[in-house]
Amino acid sequence: MKNQNRFRSNSHIGILDDYRFRIVLLSLLILVAFTLLILRAYYLQLHHGEEHRERIARQSIRRIRIPGWRGSIYSADGELLAGNRTVYDLVFYPEGMRTGGGIRRTIDSMYNAAKELAEVSGRKDFPDREEIRRHINNTPGMPLLVFRDLDPKERARILERSRNMKGLELQISAQRIYPGGQLAAHIIGYSRKAEANSAADREEFFYYQPDIVGKAGVELVCDRLPQEWNASSLGLCALPGRQVVQVSNVGFVHKELLGRVEPVHGNDVYLTIDSRAQKIAESLLAGKNGSLIVMDADNGDIICAATAPSYDLRRFTPRLSPEYYRSLLDSPGRPLINRATGGIYPPGSTLKPLICLALLKSGIDPKEKIFCSGSIEVKNTTIRCLAHRYSEADVDMGTALEKSCNTYMIHQSLRVGLAPLQEILSLIGAGEKSGIEIGESAGTFPEPARKKQLYRIPWNDSDTAMLSIGQGFIAMTPLQMVRYTAALCNGGKLYRPHIIHQVCDRAGETVYQRQRVCTGTLEIAPEKLDIVRNGMFRVVNAPRGSGRRGKVANLTVYGKTGTAEFGLRNKSRNMTHFIAFTSYKLRKYALAVTIEDGDSGGGSCAPLAAAFFERFLKPEAAPSGAPSTLEDTAQ
């Protein structure tokens, strides 16, 4: 019995010793583990602490891009053509609307608030739960747009109901506006929000709010000023501001850091366009396909450049609907084309004043008469002359311009050859872009090598004959036509056309001013130029002049009509033109009208030119002794 008790006692002691051993061993293992953890933490802190601190900072610090307001576009007479409208949007800040119970409760809270404010304001559309969820998951640090562009009544109702709500704000933003609608639409162009993902500074910001950027016309050209303008790079587009914030572990904004850097708003652009002239020109083109462009002949400033049909810029903001854009693309009138600077036409008889200059430079006597029977044969081809279709006549240069005689131009041009015609066309920049700031076409220069390359047919007398009457292998834009018309007016100087007059910052300081640039001359003696101008005077003022419907009371108008067939013979169209120039109150004006599918330059275009001069200049009878000729008004 004693032995049995002794055995039990020894067994109990053994169990206790084994238990203690296990506790000691476990304690040692735990101690070693903690020691290793401490040593590892020390190592990481010592060797990788800075790296981890930067990683944490990157995860908790957010840079927000703040777009500035875009600059405005004004006409020469101060009318707003493109600007910004203050828009009041209701936004929710997720971090301010957080509730206990997690993200789902926050989503419900935001949805219920939006629904309640929609009911009181009368708005039908507001973010649903899924939209709110996506916003919180993707950009929880940014405000959620609930209602856009609230009117005063809606704002008042929302402010009254939301007094006890947190995390709401009426946010002020800018929306691009075009008050004139169609007015100068092709010149102004349009703008839209930039694509954030392709922006150059996208990687600098976690939350990115894009700028409004130009896509066409002046909006595009002056988005950032070209370097050759010797101005700062700041154009219509603003310099963005920035804000640095710290966010919580779920992305909600915790606090602002480093302060807010405000954006620098864009500069304002002033055009050479006179809004009253532009409105008159566009009203005259209503219901037609064509253009009317007017230039200051003494400096190249474009006073108006109307194109018809046009489009409504108000439909392009705040976003362009696919349906409206498709309707513009499908329209047979092609309203998206700027006919004034981009339309390419055979100039027809409006080219004849230049042809006469080439003849004079080649030694042709302007008093020499050529017999016209109503047509002329060139390489087995009969070319009609409508100026004398009912009677035969002997025609000199002045009469040929007055009545637009094809026979005279063809006969004399074949005598001097192609080279003099090419020379004068080269001087006026045919086949080249003029250098105007907005988009333009170059047209076609009469080059035999080019014709052979395109059609595999060599140049012949028929080509020269057709060129002399503004048809065949020659095409020009209305801008090019008005430019050489201005040179005929001012004594032979060719000025670079301008649509931009100046750019000013928000303080009113000028950062860019256009300079008058003379790119060349007609290289013609004044007395020879006067011969051509006298013929153009007769076009408008002679009883049987082809452009007599362009005559204006109390105003001396010089002009030239033109009608050209365009397209295949069985599907040809009439492209009708009228160029003109005049002087009034010490200012010289050059004009070019083009009407597609018109009857004639004298019937379809000359009356529009007369109406423009009458309505825009409103000429009155000059007092005794007042200047009445271009030479008298020369500055």
pLDDT at position 55 over 50:
no
Domain range for 178 = 67-224+226-266
Q: Give the C-alpha separation, 205 to 387, whole Å.
A: 71
| Position 633 confidence tier, pLDDT thresholds 50, 70, 90 | very low
> Do residue 239 and residue 290 come from a single domain?
no
Using DSSP, state whether 30 is helix, strand or coil: helix
Using DSSP, state whether 416 is helix, strand or coil: helix
> Do residue 193 and residue 205 come from a single domain?
yes
Residues 6+ apart with CB under 8 A from 239: 68, 263, 264
pLDDT confidence of residue 250: 46
pLDDT confidence of residue 452: 92
Distance of CA 140 to the CA centre of its chain: 36
| Position 561 confidence tier, pLDDT thresholds 50, 70, 90 | very high
**Two tokens, residue 567:** 């397209």
In percent, the amount of the chain with pLDDT more than 70 equals 87
pLDDT confidence of residue 251: 46
pLDDT at position 579 over 90:
yes
> Do residue 101 and residue 136 come from a single domain?
yes
Residue 230: give its domain's CATH number. Answer: 3.90.1310.10
Boundary-marking domain end, from 37, 63, 89: 63
pLDDT confidence of residue 105: 87
The phi, psi pair for 229, rounded to 5°, reads: -80, -5
> Do residue 101 and residue 86 come from a single domain?
yes
pLDDT confidence of residue 479: 98
- Kind of pairing between the strands at 268-271 and 370-372: unpaired
Boundary-marking domain end, from 63, 95, 112: 63
249 within some domain: yes
> Do residue 240 and residue 304 come from a single domain?
no
**Tens of pLDDT along 379-429?**
888 899 887 766 678 999 999 999 999 999 999 999 999 999 999 999 999
What is the 3 state secondary structure string of 262-275? CCECCCEEEECCCH
**Helix (H) or strand (E) segment spanning residue 487:** helix 478-490
Q: Give the C-alpha separation, 612 to 606, whole Å.
A: 10
pLDDT confidence of residue 57: 45
**Two tokens, residue 536:** 């153009």
579 within some domain: yes
> Do residue 479 and residue 404 come from a single domain?
yes
pLDDT at position 571 over 70:
no
Mean pLDDT computed over 267-288? 97
pLDDT at position 58 over 70:
no
> Do residue 596 and residue 582 come from a single domain?
yes
543 within some domain: yes
What residues does 144 pair with on adjacent strands? 92
> Do residue 41 and residue 80 come from a single domain?
no
Residue 421 neighbours by CB distance under 10 Å: 23
Q: Give the C-alpha separation, 611 to 280, whole Å.
A: 9
> Do residue 233 and residue 290 come from a single domain?
no
477 within some domain: yes
541 within some domain: yes
pLDDT confidence of residue 7: 46
Query: Which CA distances in Å does 214 have to 73, 176, 192, 364?
Result: 12, 11, 7, 52
**Tens of pLDDT along 459-514?**
999 999 999 999 999 999 999 999 999 999 999 999 999 999 999 998 889 999 99
DSSP 116-184: HHHHHHT------HHHHHHHHHH-TTSPEEEE-S--HHHHHHHHHHTTT-SSEEEEEEEEEE-TTTTTT
| Position 568 confidence tier, pLDDT thresholds 50, 70, 90 | low
Residues 6+ apart with CB under 8 A from 178: 81, 82, 185, 188, 190, 313, 314, 316, 317
Mean pLDDT computed over 150-166? 88
Residue 87 neighbours by CB distance under 10 Å: 15
CB 289 within 8 A of CB 486: no
CB 485 within 8 A of CB 475: no
What residue has token string 């100039």?
Answer: 347
Q: Where are the alpha helices (DSSP H) in 388-437?
A: 397-403, 406-416, 418-427
629 within some domain: no
Fill in the DSSP letter of residue 210: P
pLDDT at position 631 over 80:
no
Residue 600: give its domain's CATH number. Answer: 3.40.710.10
526 within some domain: yes
> Do residue 473 and residue 353 come from a single domain?
yes
> How many domains does one find in the chain?
3
**Burial classification of residue 186, based on how many CB atoms lie within 10 Å of its CB (0-12 exposed, 13-18 middle, 19 or more buried):** buried
| Position 570 confidence tier, pLDDT thresholds 50, 70, 90 | low
> Do residue 154 and residue 285 come from a single domain?
no
What residue has token string 């036509």?
Answer: 481
pLDDT at position 612 over 90:
yes
> Do residue 72 and residue 59 come from a single domain?
no
| Position 239 confidence tier, pLDDT thresholds 50, 70, 90 | confident
Residues 6+ apart with CB under 8 A from 222: 71, 73, 214, 235, 236, 269, 500, 503
Q: Which of 54-58, 75-79, 82-86 is least confident?
A: 54-58
In percent, the amount of the chain with pLDDT more than 90 equals 60
* Mean pLDDT over the full length of the chain: 87
Q: Give the C-alpha separation, 376 to 441, whole Å.
A: 33
Please choose, from the candidates 591, 609, 559, 576, the residue with its C-alpha nearest in 3D space to the C-alpha of residue 345. Answer: 576
Using DSSP, state whether 205 is helix, strand or coil: coil
Q: Which of 328-332, 492-496, 607-611 is least confident?
A: 328-332
350 within some domain: yes
Q: Which of 7-21, 246-260, 603-617 is least confident?
A: 246-260
What is the 3 state secondary structure string of 288-357? CCEEEEEEECCCCEEEEEEEECCCCHHHHCCCCCHHHHHHHHHCCCCCCCCHHHHCCECCHHHHHHHHHH
Q: Give the C-alpha separation, 347 to 430, whole Å.
A: 11
pLDDT at position 203 over 90:
no
Using DSSP, state whether 71 is helix, strand or coil: coil
